[in-house]
Structure 1
Amino acid sequence: MKVIVFTRDFPPEFGGVQRLLGKVADHYGKDALVIARRCPGFREYDQGRPYTTIRMRRFEWRHANPVMSRILGAISYLLRFFVGGIHLGDAIRRQKTDLVLCGYAFPNGLPMVVARLLTGCPFVVWCHGTETLRALESGGLQRAALRLVWRLAVRVVVHSRFMRDEVARFVPPEKIIVNRLGSDSGNLDFSAAPATAVDELPLAGRAVVLTVGRLERRKGHDLLAHAMPLIREKIPHVLWLIVGDGPERERLTQAIADWRLADCVRLLGRRSDAEVSALLARADLFAMPSRRIGPDVEAFGIVYLEAARFGVPAVGGRSGGVADAVQDGVTGLLCDPEDPRDIAAKVITLLGDPARRAEMGRAAKANAERQTWDEFARHLSEELSRIDLS
């Protein structure tokens, strides 16, 4: 089967969407053509790949006047929509493509609508999470455009039962593929990592809780900070390590000061992949009580699986698709992400019971070793092969 992977996000950019689409392209190899946006380092990354990659330039008109800027932005968006669809149609004809895989239902699906009308080529779209929910909640043209894309697509791919249920309000269940994400691809180094990231920290005799992720409200750093005094009261030797950066850094720093947590919390900022691996290898527990804030939601949570690869159980928020990444009572515990007391109780439960924590860690590792990127690509390919392309 000859496929085109059509997406705005693709390696070497970092992120879950980039990782999964890179894995899909690798799986199809010489039978794939990738059309993706330019990004830093793309030339070096594209060299030697088994597939051909066409990199698109992004163009957008701006103006000092806010009203004119919005008008020009709308015009440039429509041009990208139609011109992108025409170019995609040309690529479909040249490659004699059987199926197009769109990285996003919205907005990537819109040029595909044009290409579909020009060529008749069937296409599949991904609905990852926040981008889909925002389009649905915005109503108006965005919601109408998304529903048009869904109607014309032959399949809609999601990564959790949560997103399946959200999409199934508008899409027949038989068109939806639930394809859970993997954990062993991308940039994390699961081999022996340098010890420097660990050596600089006072970890001896500490119960290490680790959070890795962008510092944004839905990740729940603020409520875990609120829970830390309760955790410290029961587990005096606890140490919470926070890896990542983002818009909530200032508020989180203030919360650490307000709750007088300097003795048990370290903000580490961004760290290299090898350093993250070293920290995961030393962690006793991974904690990220993600919550839903409007359309902003954790639709799956690859990072829970990445922690599981090291045998680290997790405390996650009972929200969005986290339950597909953390099996409650098996590979970790789910908490009420809006309740600091419940967050504290779940962390205390696992830190205070080494035997149960070790058992969950073994189960988490076994699950993550089954839920690999190779298995993700194999299952997707198997599902797509069942589509009647005639």
Structure 2
Amino acid sequence: MIIISTQAFPPDSGGKQTLMKGLAKAAAAHDSVMVLADRPRETGGIVDENAPYSRLQFGGPKFIRQRLKAAYIAKLVKENAVSRIFCDSWRSAEHLPKNLGPSVVIYAHGNEYPLDTSKVKRLKAVFEKVDHIIAVSSQTAQRVGNAVGGASTPKIHIVHNPVEPAAPISAEDETFAEQLWPSDGIRLLSLCRLIDWKGVDMAITAVAELRGKDVPAQLVIAGIGDDRPRLEARVNEHELTDHVHFAGRVEGGRKSALFESADIFMQPGRKIGDQCEGFGITYIEAGLHGLPSIAGDAGGAPDAVIDGKTGLVVDGTNQSVVTKALLRLIDEPALGHHMGQAAKAHGRTLLWDTQIKQILDLTADEKSGI
């Protein structure tokens, strides 16, 4: 049995949720999988009723559900042949008993490791229970080491986030996606949780600057998050209500159709405080649909978008640089097409079907059994 302990799991939306669901589905082809997840916080998401894994939800206050989950894991280990325990982050491993027996693996995304040393004591205590850390980017791996002040860590493996194949598209999905585009011109897409460091505001301003140069451009922003009111204010400030559309949460075939209907994926993220992109699954998902990306150079995004090959990596704090990168892709359509095809090929190398064996092999040792 493989156990996945996670705070983040669908139907909630987000990169971690997508990653943990993909891990559960892919691992289920190799062993039985039990997912222990927090109770969903969001409504309206798609629930996979035919999932090949078992799932148990934990509610209540955080400090209670964390301990209940850890106790249940110990019970499962005692009663079953458990090979591995995957945790979505170090926080999901914090209350595990020591010396459980199975290999304990934690994912590291980046932002959960502070740039200061405020959590060194807690991290060191967790690392004593952990056998492997999967860092989703090279920047994240470096951040893990910095967070514990150079102290010894478990084995760190850099494994870029795998993705699932695109969901099939129905005629209704195609109609839905087409109706989202608000006006004319080049079709730009941002799809993410709406957080200030994602750089969606820079995409909005780029549309304004292009239209000011008589270059028609439009933008669909898909996703939910607390930054939406600020982004809507920027749209109003630039008088772009006819050219920028907020689509809300988009999933499944509708999400695939939206990617297929776009020309460029644009998410020029940046670092704000301690926060930045850990990797960026949506860049890879966009690539599977042949879209070149414009990404910021902060965090792990340069691992997801290969600068000059699958897209352009720019200074996400510099509006002029962001807009120039967009203009380059518009003015050089052959370049954009070439990058889109390279992004598609790159995305195929990161499909779960091919990546899960690597993950299981990396995390196998004397304790794991497989």
Q: Compute the TM-score of the two structures, normalised by the length of structure 2.
A: 0.86
Structure-2 residue corresponding to 1:189: 167
User: What is the deviation of 1:234?
Assistant: 4.1
Question: After alignment, is 358-367 or 44-53 more displaced?
Answer: 44-53
Matches within 5 A, 1:8-23: 8-23=7-22
Aligned-residue sequence identity (percent) comes to: 26
Partner of residue 125 from structure 1, selected from 92, 106, 110 = 106
Matches within 5 A, 1:16-55: 16-29=15-28, 30-39=31-40, 49-53=51-55, 55=56
Structure-2 residue corresponding to 1:212: 191
Query: Take 2:249 and 2:199, find their aligned partners in 1: how far apart are those partners?
Result: 18
Aligned in 2, Cα 1:334/1:189: closer, same or farther, shift over 3 Å?
A: same
| Cα offsets for 1:277-330 (capped at 9, x unmatched) | 222212111101111112222101111111111111010111110011110000
User: What is the deviation of 1:389?
Assistant: 2.0
Partner of residue 266 from structure 2, selected from 263, 287, 293 = 287
| Cα offsets for 1:208-228 (capped at 9, x unmatched) | 111112222011122222333
User: What is the deviation of 1:144?
Assistant: 1.5
- Cα contact 1:7–1:37 (8 A) shared by 2: yes
Question: After alignment, is 332-341 or 91-100 more displaced?
Answer: 91-100
Gaps of 5+ in 2: none
* 2:24 partner SS: helix
* 2:160 partner SS: coil
Aligned in 2, Cα 1:221/1:240: closer, same or farther, shift over 3 Å?
A: same
Partner of residue 350 from structure 1, selected from 315, 318, 329 = 329
* 2:7 partner SS: coil
- Confirm or deny that 1:88 pairs with 2:88: no
Structure-1 residue corresponding to 2:139: 162
Matched letter for residue 268 of structure 2: P
Count of matched residue pairs: 359
- Cα contact 1:234–1:348 (8 A) shared by 2: no
- Structure with the bigger percentage of helix: 1
- Cα contact 1:311–1:365 (8 A) shared by 2: yes
Matched letter for residue 35 of structure 1: L
Structure-1 residue corresponding to 2:156: 176
Query: Take 2:315 and 2:48, find their aligned partners in 1: how far apart are those partners?
Result: 43
* 1:195 partner SS: helix
Question: After alignment, is 356-365 or 216-225 more displaced?
Answer: 216-225
Gaps of 5+ in 1: 61-75
- Cα contact 1:4–1:34 (8 A) shared by 2: yes
- Confirm or deny that 1:111 pairs with 2:95: yes
Query: Take 2:259 and 2:65, find their aligned partners in 1: how far apart are those partners?
Result: 42
User: What is the deviation of 1:163?
Assistant: 0.4
Which of 1 and 2 has greater Rg?
A: 1
User: What is the deviation of 1:201?
Assistant: 5.1
* 1:19 partner SS: helix
Matches within 5 A, 1:1-390: 2-29=1-28, 30-39=31-40, 49-53=51-55, 55-60=56-61, 77=63, 79-106=64-91, 108-112=92-96, 114=97, 116-117=98-99, 119-130=100-111, 132-134=112-114, 137=116, 139=118, 142-169=119-146, 170=148, 172=152, 175-185=155-165, 189-192=167-170, 194-200=173-179, 206-234=185-213, 236-385=215-364, 387-389=365-367
Structure-2 residue corresponding to 1:66: none
